[in-house]
Amino acid sequence: MNSFFMPAIVLGAALIAGSATAAISVKDDGGNTVTLAQPAQRIISLAPHATELIFAAGGGERIVGTVGYSDYPAAALQIPRVGSHQQIDVERIIALKPDLLVVWLHGNSERQLEHVRKLGIPFFFSEPKKLADIPGSVERLGILMGTEQQANKTAAAERKELARLAAQYRNRPTVRMFYQVWGKPLYTLNGGNILSDVMRLCGGENVFAHLPVSAPTVTTEAVLLENPEVMMTGDRQAEKSAGLEIWKSYKNMLAVKNDNLFSVNADLVNRAGPRLIDGAAMMCEKLELARSRRTAKALVQP
């Protein structure tokens, strides 16, 4: 071979080798830069919503450990558990030799996580705050795993569905609503929770959006004073108003008068993962039903 071409060949080979081992970097939901030397192959997911995001991004087979309640998709049930979202088995995590941990910002023990962090395992903090953050999370996880093709396809479909819902409901009349997380004690959500973003998408107004705590307790009297048009909860049972029966005795409440006590599928609305977009469609349908009942009542007025 002509020696004239040798330097070019060597340089080309070096560039190829360099690009093959180039570091991968993304920003996580905590604003931290997460850098990997190569695509993640052994991932531990420390939150159920994170497990769903990883699967959506095309990396489900790379999850070597997760926590309780990581039950979707069905394949997630076969993944070994390393604890719960509140208590993790640090020794088990170390034994699984992960090259990436996907962690919920508020769900895991900070003390335990700090111990794991000192071992040098990269962390990706996951906490989508708005619906639009979900496809972005899928894309960033896809970059970290080298599964961009699947991740980008999924994210594009999610954005298309969110745009469809926005176009359908953005000009609909506002519906004041109360979302009940739990009945005893009475828990709700403030405006910073991602589910309030779902309400806004559907033309709903969270009557307790102004409260400073993300999941505040409220009194029965406070709910009665707000007199919401719709009361909603997430429940796995089939009953239309599961968990909301406590309000039926308050006959003068607008939501009770109009029969607007709604239950939505908890599996679709309780996690900030891809299925929340399906949950948003369901919530929008419930609020549209409440609007139709306004019209029906007006038609029967003398």
Q: How confident is the model at residue 242 (pLDDT cuts 50, 70, 90)?
A: low
Does domain 172-300 fall into CATH 3.40.50.1980? yes
Question: What pLDDT was estimated at residue 6?
Answer: 43
DSSP string, 163-231: HHHHHHHTTSPPEEEEEESBTTTTB---TTSHHHHHHHHTTEEETTTT-SSSS-B--HHHHHHH--SEE
The model's pLDDT over 13-25, given as tens digits with 9 standing for 90+, comes to 444 444 455 899 9
Task: Please write the tens of the pLDDT for every residue from 51-96.
Answer: 999 999 999 999 999 999 999 999 999 999 999 877 889 999 999 9
What's the confidence (pLDDT) of residue 299?
54
Q: Which of 175, 207, 195, 180 is nearest to 289 (CA)?
A: 175
Residues forming beta bridges with residue 261, ordered by sequence position: 231
**pTM score:** 0.88
Query: What are the residue boundaries of the structural domains of the chain, listed by start?
Result: 19-155, 172-300
Peptide bond between residue 185 and the one before it cis (omega within 30 degrees of 0): yes
**Mode of pairing for the β-strands spanning 204-206 and 175-180:** parallel
Domain 19-155 homologous superfamily, CATH: Nitrogenase molybdenum iron protein domain (3.40.50.1980)
Give the per-residue pLDDT at 296: 67
Give me the chain's average pLDDT, please. Answer: 89
For 25, residues 6+ apart whose C-beta sits below 8 A from its C-beta are 33, 34, 35, 36
Length in residues, the chain: 302
Banded model confidence at residue 110, pLDDT cuts 50, 70, 90? confident
Between residues 116 and 174, which one has the greater pLDDT?
174
What is the tens place of the pLDDT at every residue in 113-160? 888 888 889 999 999 999 999 999 999 999 999 999 999 999 999 999
State how far the Cα of 202 lies from the Cα of 195, in Å rounded to an integer: 11
Half-sphere CA count of 71, side-chain side, radius 13 A: 7
Contacts of 59 (CB under 8 A, 6+ apart): 40, 43, 141, 142, 145, 147
The arithmetic mean of pLDDT across residues 260-289, rounded, is: 96
Backbone dihedral angles phi then psi of residue 103, each to the nearest 5 degrees: -125, 140
